[in-house]
Structure 1
């Protein structure tokens, strides 16, 4: 039912499917050519198996994206219907995501590099929050590296701050099957602190990219395993423990930390 659309299909007489990019919990993404302009765009359709829930979430993502205007977020382009099925069309951002950089290219990050990337992510998140929304899915696959800039993508789980039943009944947790269950649950709460929590885990992923445990070493907490300075540990714990109510408050603290480490030999 969720088999990807074939390459070469023209959606609504306008968007030619060039490449299937991937599938998430509720949607499928495709790189397309706009036959009117020749430009490359991203087309997102709901997974057919998700039926009404998938269609509802895609329409919500469309409505949110239309209200945003930030260079580090995808630009809304169109809502188009093909054979009674709607699809969201947005700017296609060239580059690779952080997950690919780490797993496929072997990229690692120093503490300062990770902090600087974290700081760059605050601007699009503050824009989103100021518009009244929260992303709820800040993870390494959803951050694109494009030249010297980073972009936040995939607003498929974004919702209005404080929105009740944001995901519908099938997303309500009924127990945690693995250690990531509580992390996902916390990240999905419809509040700004959820994105700050996601940023905390994002930083830890960057740092773990360069971590190799000693042979026979038992698993420990990130505070014990990673070589992170005390001031930085305190900041990351603050993100994970909801020390700040808004992204702006956390950003100001991080700016001071980055200035401190940028001015010395603390790489």
Structure 2
């Protein structure tokens, strides 16, 4: 009830920090509200993220928001959000970033019935790997790699939403975190492969029985999903994706 009364979005047309004119809300989560806005000095589109007012009551929620700001400010990648500034207005915390044009992969699949065959699904993962590599080389663990956090624009992939991301300097702990990101990659790959699946059986079966895949793709999935020995490096994942793609093209 408290959240209902205090977490009302900023009105459309409001100018925030004497710079950003809010157009409309483009997203909201459990602890943040995201606005489409214009920089009134440059007339460029900017995205504002606001920590919900109800979350200001706990230091841990504020710390999560500040952690997200710290991570986004380190990214420096054309296919990830570009950070501009963090600020406070009337006690509310905000940060601004660039607007990434594209369609959310979840929306693309469900609204247009987009499907991926085995080759297309593997190629998708191969395109995603350099983005994950960029993060891991900076000791950043994304923590929430899923289709709803991937945008596509003209065939190019963009990774967003770093609310659960962390920076870890301990090599052993970071290996575990990296493997969580790898698991998410396996989950995405499996999800994409199922977009072409049509079952005539009423009985749910394991993916190894339902999907007809090359043995190289099965090997890749079992390691990503940690059914078999988990991957420890992105280089080995990249190699196995390429091997699986080659097996398909040779058919």
Query: Which of 205, 223, 231 in structure 1 is aligned with 2:191?
Result: 205
How far 1:116 moved relative to its partner? Answer: 0.7
Query: Which of 236, 240, 246 in structure 2 is aligned with 1:253?
Result: 240
How far 1:145 moved relative to its partner? Answer: 0.5
How far 1:21 moved relative to its partner? Answer: 1.4
Is contact 2:81-2:97 (8 Å) kept? Answer: yes
> 2:112 is paired with a residue of what secondary structure?
coil
Q: Note the residue ranges of structure 1 that are not aligned, 5 or more in a row.
A: 164-188
- Residues of 2 paired with 1:71 and 1:258: CA distance? 26
Match of 1:44 in 2: 49
Q: Note the residue ranges of structure 2 that are not aligned, 5 or more in a row.
A: 1-5
Is contact 1:161-1:192 (8 Å) kept? Answer: no
- Residues of 2 paired with 1:218 and 1:260: CA distance? 30
Query: What's the CA shift string for 1:86-132, capped at 9, x where partnerless?
Result: 21211111011110001111111111111111111111111111111
Query: What's the CA shift string for 1:142-162, capped at 9, x where partnerless?
Result: 000011200110011000137
How far 1:264 moved relative to its partner? Answer: 3.0
Query: Which of 86, 92, 103 in structure 2 is aligned with 1:96?
Result: 103
- Residues of 2 paired with 1:218 and 1:49: CA distance? 45
- Residues of 1 paired with 2:52 and 2:169: CA distance? 26
**Number of aligned residue pairs:** 238
Match of 2:222 in 1: 237
1:19 and 2:24 matched: yes
Q: Structure 1 3/222 Cα, relative in aligned 2: closer, same or farther at 3 Å?
A: farther
Which structure's CA Rg is the greater one? Answer: 2
> 1:56 is paired with a residue of what secondary structure?
helix
- Residues of 2 paired with 1:252 and 1:246: CA distance? 10
- Residues of 1 paired with 2:234 and 2:85: CA distance? 29
Match of 1:220 in 2: 205
> 1:245 is paired with a residue of what secondary structure?
coil
Instruction: State the superposition RMSD in angstroms.
Output: 1.9
Match of 1:130 in 2: 137
Is contact 2:48-2:97 (8 Å) kept? Answer: yes
How far 1:3 moved relative to its partner? Answer: 2.9
How far 1:254 moved relative to its partner? Answer: 1.5
- Residues of 1 paired with 2:61 and 2:112: CA distance? 33
